[in-house]
Amino acid sequence: MQEIVLTGVSKGFGKQLLLSLSEKYFIHALTRSPEDISFAVELEQQNKIKLYYADLASINEVDAFCDQVLANSNQLLGIINNAGRRFRSSIDTIEYSDLCSLFDVNIHAPFFIIKNLLPLLKKNKYSRIINISSIVGYRGFDDLSGYGMTKGAINSMTKCLASELAEHQVTVNAILPGFCETSYADKFKSNLPLYESTIIRTPLKRWGADTELNGIVEFLLSTHSSYMTGSLITMMVAGLQYDS
């Protein structure tokens, strides 16, 4: 069975990806929270996944996680960098420490997971890196400059590594979801004017479901995406119709 690394499996997109992909692949699954992951523990008991615990804000924990995967795996089909820290703050209130923490989790961790596990990807005949970015890395939004900068950086990383790793048959793509029903949805929707502004700018006039990433990821992992690398996939989950 082909093996994949997936981060941020406790909830949201990561939980849905774990449930769906573990039917077809063996998953090295990273979670920070040991709570509320009985679904993952059950999958581990069925030998469909291996669970790892790490806080991606710490580079030492990123390295320790990668060392464990290197010890447990001979080769990888793919890495899905899904875990991410969301943060809303105006430029007036954001602190240096907030930015550092956003960059640690959203860009430094994915970059060093790729770097450390690259030898396992190179061993496969072909392999896939999938970075979960955001529409915020592509369009401007109030109070999301810190988060948006990290997602802009992941888009640049995706394109540069797509070029650099092509000779090893490693493809690198990013998915840029719009607004989707993950763990932040209820709180966000309680601010009605903010929620309505997202619906106005979304072509399908609804938020995406947390399961709507699964098909795109499965396509990117498959041979059907063999000639696709360096792509920033927007709009397919829930894009934004109007500029502003």
Binding site for ligand NAP (CB under 6 A): 8, 10-14, 32-33, 55-57, 82-86, 105, 132, 134, 177, 179-180, 182-184
Q: Toward ligand NAP, which CB reaches closer, 161 or 217?
A: 217
Catalytic residue (choose from 25, 52, 138, 147): 147
Q: Provide, rounded to whole angstroms, the least separation between the CB of residue 40 and ligand NAP.
A: 10
Q: Toward ligand NAP, which CB reaches closer, 1 or 95?
A: 95
Q: Provide, rounded to whole angstroms, the least separation between the CB of residue 169 and ligand NAP.
A: 26
C-alpha 227/C-alpha 231 separation (Å) is 10
Q: Toward ligand NAP, which CB reaches closer, 17 or 161?
A: 17
Query: How would you label 131-161 residue by residue, b for 16+ Cβ within 10 Å and e otherwise?
Result: bbbbbbbbbebebbbbbbbbbbbbbebbbeb
Tokens of 174: 């990013």
Specify whether 147 is catalytic.
Answer: yes
Tokens of 155: 């888009």
Q: Provide, rounded to whole angstroms, the least separation between the CB of residue 184 and ligand NAP.
A: 6
Amino acid at 75: Q
Which among 26, 24, 55, 22 has a CA at the least distance from the CA of 39?
A: 22
Q: Which residues are catalytic?
A: 147
